[in-house]
Amino acid sequence: MRQTLLIELLTEELPPKALERLSVSLANEVFGMLQEHDLVDKDSICTPFATPRRLAVTIAEVESQQVDRVIERKGPAVAAGLDAQGRPSKALDGFMRGAGVTFDQLQRGGVGEKTEHFVARVNKKGQSLEMCLSEIVAQALKKLPTPKIMRWGDSEYQFVRPVHGFIALHGDRLLSGNVFGLQSGRVTRGHRFLRADEISISCADDYEETLLVHGKVVASFAKRRAIIEECLKVEAHKFGAYVNLPNELLDEVTGLVEWPVVYVGEFEDEYLSVPQECLVLTMQQNQKYFPLLDDAGKLLNKFLIVSNMETSNPQNIIAGNQRVVRPRLADARFFMDQDNRQTLESRVVLLGNVIYHNKLGTQLQRVERMTVLAGAIAHQLNAEKSVAELAARLAKADLTTDMVAEFPELQGVMGRHYALRDGEDGVVADAIAAHYHPRFSGDTLPQGAIACAVALADKLDLLLGICGVGLIPTGDKDPFGLRRHALGVLRILIETPLPLSLDQLLRWGRDGFGTKQLDEGTVVSVYEFMLDRLRGYLSEGHFSSNEIESVMCQSPVRMDLVISRLEAIRVFRKLPEGAALSAINKRIQNILKKSAKTGATVQPKLLQENAERSLYEAVQRLSPQVELAIEGRDYTGALTALASVRAEVDEFFDQVMVMAEDDAVRANRLALLSSLGDLMNTVADISKLAV
């Protein structure tokens, strides 16, 4: 009989940041194990629920009983299962005991194959859902991505929080089961303050509605989040403002409430003199509030509170939250007042007291390297070298401020504010803020040559330094964020774009350390590390692996040209000649690999066959065309021109014996193929496109 299955664990307050992940994982694990037990099919609907004090899941169309099954067990090979007299060996005896069958019940499998083996087919009576359920839930709970586990009371059980109730219903039928020493029931609890009484769930299908109506609990995490988001927007609209809705904060607040209600609080205008990034951060991070901003993005002296309490007179709730937020804002103002006693320039020397890495020196030494490198990059970009050097020298100075010590997330942001306060040029101030970008996938890039120069200097110095002391990340561990920084460099070079050689940038960066700190191999290892990141970046751009490899195998150094080369390759593949020329190019590469490379040039007088003379003339004709297209960055034009050589290439391989007996003729034909291969692979190695 198919009915909806309900599983609920009633707990103490669960960690809000992990709540949704725990809920979805529980639902997926239970559903997966029910599938393994043949109690649901893939079309059954699985719905997770999560509130601060419960994890639950309902699964539709769950069978009450497994069907009877025939389980087939593969035994030892026939040759190993019988002795010389044809009697069962010890191996076969052990297999029969384990399978619970006699020799007469065994069958043979793999008949006609190389090795026959014994097979035991055992009829297994289907178990009931009730018999399986406790083990299914217990196993699912062990697999949850729990941040930390704990014991409670004098019990032997461990979970992310103490568990006080367990519901297991199949339709309206209570299933007997035991989890964490708790016998299953049908009783749960409503809202801690609005409906503290026990609530009986009569039927699994009524679970969500019963909690909503009788318990003042919105059980669905997704629905609760949507309610909060909509209420925040509605309240913001009343003031003609908008509210920033960071996903992480929305998820956390959703994990803190069961019956969300939004109230409006405010603070004194005097705190608006503090940079709004500080105020926004302290309200969001410390108090879980949602600040309001006007149409220009300027912070208002109002914020939104997501409360777990609904009341006709919320003044006490609002006043309490306003009272709590004031000391936070006052702290931010105090930190800023303290920081304003020193200029950024005067703080640079203090970086000498901040260890960057025990093998790489202080932050001051790092800033000195960044200054030189940023200046060199800016000069290459025809930007003002001295401006880039100033921005790089000041870029890390805010690490010594009280504000950044309290809120590390504001590094760079506060540097920009303090630079403007000190009268520095806006370009310098913007570069200080932007040099940390991109901070995550999809983040904005630095704008302008100066900001890009400082950002590249920062990331390249970190990559070279950390990799140079042997800390290239392996597996999932990347404590220094090297993958993120490598991708940041690539994005800046590609998406801005910037006409810079990655190889040259790495060499300039290594020069700042000196040969005693970093050897020549560091440049090579960092370059290869970055190419690996580039492959991943390009695959997200929907280029195929062989298209990517056709460019990557040539070790590109101009990252800004990689995308256009790949787009040209994609066009070339669609040409009628594309597939054939790729296969021919692969054939040429194989021939040349087997032959000694002499570096010889083609001698026209040694061309004996009309087909090889035609091919030589085609190569001579196309070479300047291709070269001109490459110089103009017209990679598509270069590859399209190469497609016209198809007829001459086909004729050559049909009529000419490359490996002629005459040494001179053979060498000349190999030289012709070599020149053709070089021409065809000017944009990319098209042999990689051959299937």
Rg over CA atoms, the chain? 35
Mean pLDDT check: name the lowest of 543-547, 595-599, 656-660: 595-599
Provide the pLDDT for residue 482.
94
Cα separation, 461 vs 522, whole angstroms: 12
Reported as a single tens digit per residue, the pLDDT across 214-225 is 999 999 999 999
> Domain 345-541 carries which CATH code?
1.10.3210
Provide the pLDDT for residue 162.
95
Reported as a single tens digit per residue, the pLDDT across 507-532 is 999 999 977 778 878 999 999 999 99
Buried b (16+ CB within 10 A) or exposed e, 208-222: bebbbeebbbbbbbb
Phi, psi values for residue 152, rounded to 5°: -140, 145
Cα separation, 424 vs 416, whole angstroms: 9
Q: What is the mean pLDDT of residues 204-228?
A: 96
Provide the pLDDT for residue 321.
95
Q: What is the mean pLDDT of residues 344-365?
A: 94
Q: What is the mean pLDDT of residues 372-378?
A: 97
Provide the pLDDT for residue 584.
85
Q: Quickly list DSSP for 14-50.
A: PPGGGHHHHHHHHHHHHHHHHHHTTSS-TTS-EEEEE
Number of separate helices (H) and strands (E) present in the chain: 26, 20
Q: What is the mean pLDDT of residues 463-476?
A: 88
Q: What is the mean pLDDT of residues 535-562?
A: 92
Res. 475 pLDDT band, cuts 50 70 90: confident
Within 13 Å of residue 566, how many CA atoms lie on the same side as its CB?
A: 24
Provide the pLDDT for residue 598.
56
Provide the pLDDT for residue 354.
93
Provide the pLDDT for residue 77.
85
Average pLDDT, the chain: 91
Provide the pLDDT for residue 596.
64
What is the spatial order of strands in the sheet that 2-11 belongs to? 46-51, 54-63, 2-11, 163-170, 173-174
- Could you tell me which residue, 304 or 589, shows the higher pLDDT? 304
Cα separation, 295 vs 439, whole angstroms: 26
Residue 510 near residue 522 (C-beta atoms within 8 A) = yes
CA distances from 372 to 1, 369, 378, 391 (A): 75, 5, 10, 11
The answer on pLDDT for 254 being more than 80 is: yes
Reported as a single tens digit per residue, the pLDDT across 167-198 is 999 999 999 999 999 999 999 999 998 887 89
Q: What percent of the chain has pLDDT over 90?
A: 66
> CB under 8 Å to 364, separation ≥6 — which residues?
348, 349, 351, 352, 354
Which tokens hold the place of 128? 């009931």
Delimit the domains of the chain by residue range.
2-66+128-215, 70-124, 221-339, 345-541, 568-689
Mean pLDDT check: name the lowest of 117-126, 308-317, 623-632: 117-126
Cα separation, 477 vs 486, whole angstroms: 15
CATH superfamily, with its number, for domain 568-689: Isoleucyl-tRNA Synthetase; Domain 1 (1.10.730.10)
Res. 54 pLDDT band, cuts 50 70 90: very high
The answer on pLDDT for 449 being more than 60 is: yes
- Could you tell me which residue, 469 or 424, shows the higher pLDDT? 424
The sign of the torsion formed by the CA atoms of 210, 211, 213, 219 equals: negative
Mean pLDDT check: name the lowest of 294-303, 319-328, 467-476, 633-642: 467-476
Whether the model clears a pTM of 0.85, i.e. scores above it, the answer is no
The answer on pLDDT for 597 being more than 70 is: no
